[in-house]
Amino acid sequence: MSVARLLGQHKFRLFACNYAPTYKTFITHRVQDDVQHPLNEVQRRLSRERKREGLWWNVTVGVTLSKAKVVRSWVRRRLQSAFIEELRERDIEQDGKLIVDKAGKVGRHGIPAQVLKQLGDVSLMGSVRLHARPTVILAKYADVRRETGLVADALLQGLKAELKFAEPRSERKMQGLLQPRKAQVPPRYMPGDT
DSSP character string of 88-114: HHTTB-TTSBBPPPTTSSB-TTS-BHH
Structural domain harbouring 11: 3-160
Which pairing describes strands 55-60 and 126-132: parallel, antiparallel, or unpaired?
parallel
At 54-106, the pLDDT tens digits run 899 999 998 888 899 999 999 999 999 999 999 999 888 999 888 776 665 65
Residue 16 bridge partners (DSSP): 131
Question: Residue 171 pLDDT > 80, yes or no?
Answer: no
Measure the N-to-C terminal CA separation of the chain; round to a whole number of Å.
32
**Of 55, 89, 99, 85, which Cα lies nearest the Cα of 77?**
85
Structural domain includes residue 111: yes
Length of the chain: 194
Work out how many domains the chain is built from and give that number.
1
Structural domain includes residue 167: no
Structural domain includes residue 32: yes
pTM score, two decimals?
A: 0.76
Structural domain includes residue 43: yes
